[in-house]
Amino acid sequence: MPRIVAIEFSTAGKLYDFDAGTLDLAPGDKVVVETERGLGIGTVLQAPVERTERVPENLVAIRRKATPDDMATQERNRQLEKSAFDFCLKRIMERGMQMKLVRVEYQFDSSKAVFYFTADGRVDFRDLVKDLAHTFHTRIEMRQIGVRDESKMIGGIGICGRELCCCSFLREFQPVSVKMAKEQNLALNPSKISGQCGRLLCCLDYEYETYCCLRKNFPKCGKRVRTPTAAGVIDKINILTGNITLRLDDNKQITIRRDEILSDSAADALPAPPAATPPPEARREQRERRQQRPPSSPPLQQKEEKRQESKPAIATAPPSVEADGDETQDGQKKQDGRRRSRHRKHGHRRKQGDKPDTSTPPTPKTPGA
């Protein structure tokens, strides 16, 4: 049965499981282990625990406890890291490269040096690697990281006045969205909800689930509710204190508690306020004014009179007395009809004194007459 122990290689870094074997380890001990990159010195976080379930595959055994010589080697590597950082930063400034050097990390056996940097895009650092390899005579690895990893390596103080969560205890980054800030009624000001890395604060995720659970017991903003004394629309909700700001129909705001709400529906059951009745003197004056008004004709009669006044008088033509029979009358009707349609089409009206032309058209001559 393996004895598994959790080890970290940097503060608030990722935990790795190793086989303690027969070593007597305690939290805080320094040990030398074999990693994918080579030998390294880690710190024991928990005492060895025997497991029968969820045993990781390819479990690596711990080499030994760190000796004073191992600690001296690690300190010597720290000095090499500082000199490599200064040299690389100088070369970056001389070449004008668009990159920011964050940290240099040497392996325990000094077989490789890893240079961590940030950049907005791809960077051609082939000439830089040649200079570093020629100067330090070791393998060089350039690794680009994100802004959150940069803050984790550098560290700092947050807007809360404490050490950054990512470099003190937060081992893995969780996705953070603006929805979390909205759920907690925070001002969406980038300078207020952003951390040192320029991303949203990691602490917005800590209380998000608590706010979601507490909000289920409160009605939503914009909903109309009623209390024993008033009714209105919910304007603001303070989940931590339990206070609700209610906006009444007259735009006044009052603060109530959650248990004072009687119903979440529209306040129809509340009695409507009585209509203001005018005093007896005002009613008497209104009655006298109404009696002094002249009687008005019914609206239908007024409309009929106006219609008759505006209706134009149309002069009727006398019946034709020509002896041409039906052909003359039909021709006259067609001509009058064309004349009337022409006047309507162009917006002209015939004057009342004008009479239609009743002259008959000349009779066409037949050939041979």
Whether 88 and 59 share a structural domain: no
Query: In this structure, are 159 and 191 located in the same domain?
Result: yes
121 in the same domain as 76 = yes
**Which tens digits make up the pLDDT trace of 344-362?**
544 455 555 555 555 555 5
Q: Of 231, 154, 228, 166, which is closest to residue 202 (Cα–Cα)?
A: 166
Q: Is residue 120 part of a domain?
A: yes
> Which among 33, 48, 66 is the end of a domain?
66
Last residue of a domain, one of 13, 36, 66: 66
**Model pTM score:** 0.63
pLDDT at 226: 87
The answer to whether residue 137 scores a pLDDT higher than 50 is yes
What's the confidence (pLDDT) of residue 285?
76
Instruction: Give residue 296's Cα distance to chain centre.
Output: 63
Q: Is the residue at 348 inside a domain?
A: no
Asked whether residue 193 is domain-assigned, the answer is: yes
Whether 226 is in a domain gets the answer yes
The number of domains in the chain is 4
Chain segment 76-110, per-residue pLDDT in tens: 999 999 999 999 999 999 999 999 999 999 999 88
Q: Report pLDDT digits (tens) over 39-88.
A: 889 999 988 888 777 777 788 899 999 999 999 999 999 999 999 999 99
List the CATH number of the domain containing 92.
3.30.300.20
| CATH (domain of 232) | 2.30.30
User: Does residue 140 sit in the same domain as residue 77?
Assistant: yes
Helices (H), the chain: 68-95, 126-136, 147-154, 178-183, 190-193, 208-215, 280-292, 299-310, 326-345
**pLDDT score for 270:** 41
Q: 4-35 b/e with 16+ CB inside 10 Å = b?
A: bbbbeeeebeeebbbbbeebebeeebebbbee
The residue segments making up the domain with residue 177 are 154-213
Is the same domain home to 36 and 58? yes
Please, which contacts does 158-165 make with residues 24 or more away whose CB atoms are closer than 8 Å? 158/195, 158/196, 158/201, 159/192, 159/195, 160/203, 164/195, 164/196, 165/202, 165/203
Residue matched to tokens 């239609």: 356
Contacts of 11 (CB under 8 A, 6+ apart): 167, 168
- Residue 48 domain-assigned (yes or no): yes
End-to-end CA distance of the chain: 141
Given 27, 49, 66, the domain boundary residue is 66
352 lies in a domain? no
